[in-house]
Structure 1
Amino acid sequence: MSRLTLLEIYEHPIAQKYVHRSGLAHAISTAYYAYQFALEYNVNPDLAVKAAFLHDMGHYTWYVNGEWDYDLYKENDIHPIKGAERAHKLLIRLGEDRVRAKEIALAVLFHTDSFLPESPITRTPLQEVVALADEADEEPDGKHHYRYISPERARKKIADLDRKIERTLNHFYDESAGAP
């Protein structure tokens, strides 16, 4: 079975709709951070990058009188719940392995604790990598969601990240098989 690529995910209309809504530049940047953290923490980079790319696809818009209301958003936010559901459904639709799709969806769910009243989260290594990647790209007052990236540059960066993952996974499988 061939690996579902990040570019295949990006090109799907559901990803186009929800990833653009929450900030394509932020999604790509967070995916790059997740790749680096995955290598550092010995986590599968394919899962980490997919979860990081999709982590905010559950965002709602919270506007009052045409202005973004960050406080209202923080008070009523449940985007990780909706995002996990959307990510899981999208990944299954695209043919991702069901176990992997669930791991990715749970990493989307636990990338933040903003939806929890007070309890701290105990995260798996994959979930921690995605949370760290998101934190690494954050800007005050949610401004990271409004950075611009052209469609051409976005495709180039996503394809580049797919190549990095492929090389990393090939290297891992070569080493585990005992190949030089």
Structure 2
Amino acid sequence: MRKVTLMDVFTHPVAQKYLTRSGVAHAVACAYHAYRLAIKAGIDPDMATKAALLHDIGHYEWYTDGEWDYDKYKQYDIHAIKGAERAHKLLIRLGEEPKAAKEIALAILLHTDSYLPEGDLEKNKLQRIVKKADELDEEPGGNHHYRKIDDRLAIQKIKQLDQMVDDVRLPMTKTV
């Protein structure tokens, strides 16, 4: 039995604040992509779905003269750093196992390379899955952050994903 479910994470006020800012529909879609990718890779879908759900909670809103400034975002944003910190703190508060909270935070930290110096960084399976899940849901100009989803539908999808994770998690032991 998991100590912390996706529903625990999703409904927490801190998560709601930042998921609303970065796009609930995008976060939920990424969590589903991460589930499928984790199953295929043979790693724990619990950690993958949590990391994908929270991957953008570090977003800052970049505006110029009241308008979203995608170019400024691409140039200055370091949301993965702030998101990793927020996710780690939230997961620990909720009672997540500390090692899992750290692995989830690191996957969030490395889901984008937009702020990293040039060069190759060796990523583990979980980190690659969260990056791929994000890429699978991207839209030009950052529009994936502005798609809408009805609150009831989002809750229904999170409940369904929690059940899917529970159904396959018992035989899964490999986490990264």
Q: Is the 8 A contact 2:3 2:95 kept in 1?
A: no
Equivalents in 2 of 1:51, 1:17: separation in Å?
A: 17
* 1:75-86 alignment, distance < 5 Å: 75-86=75-86
Q: CA deviation at 1:114?
A: 0.9
Alignment of structure 1 residues 129-168 onto 2, 5 Å: 129-168=129-168
Contact 1:34-1:45 within 8 A present in 2 as well: yes
Matched length? 173
Shift of 1:172: 3.8
| Pair member with larger Rg | 1
Structure 2: tracts of 5 or more residues without a match: none
1:119-164 CA distances to partner (integer Å, 9 max, x unpaired)?
A: 3332110000100000000000000000000110000000000000
Is 1:64 the counterpart of 2:64? The answer is yes
Task: Give the whole-Å Cα distance in 2 for the aligned partners of 1:139 and 1:170.
Answer: 35
TM-score, normalised via structure 1 length: 0.93
- Report if the CA contact (8 A) 1:113-1:120 is conserved: no
Per mean C-alpha deviation after superposition, the further-off stretch among 88-97 and 120-129 is 120-129
* Gapped regions of structure 1 (runs ≥ 5): 174-180
Percent of residue pairs bearing the same amino acid type: 56
Pair 77,120 (structure 1): closer, same or farther in 2 beyond 3 Å: farther
- The CA deviation at 1:3 is 2.8
CA contact (8 A) 1:57 1:83 kept: yes
Instruction: State the alpha-carbon separation in 2 of the partners of residues 24 and 169 from structure 1.
Output: 24
Segment of structure 1 superposing worse, 133-142 or 1-10? 1-10
Q: Could you tell me how far 1:170 is from its partner in structure 2?
A: 2.8
Q: Give the ranges of 4+ consecutive aligned residues of structure 1 lying more than 6 Å apart after TM superposition.
A: none
RMSD of aligned residue pairs (Cα, Å): 1.2
- Residue identity matched to 2:94: L
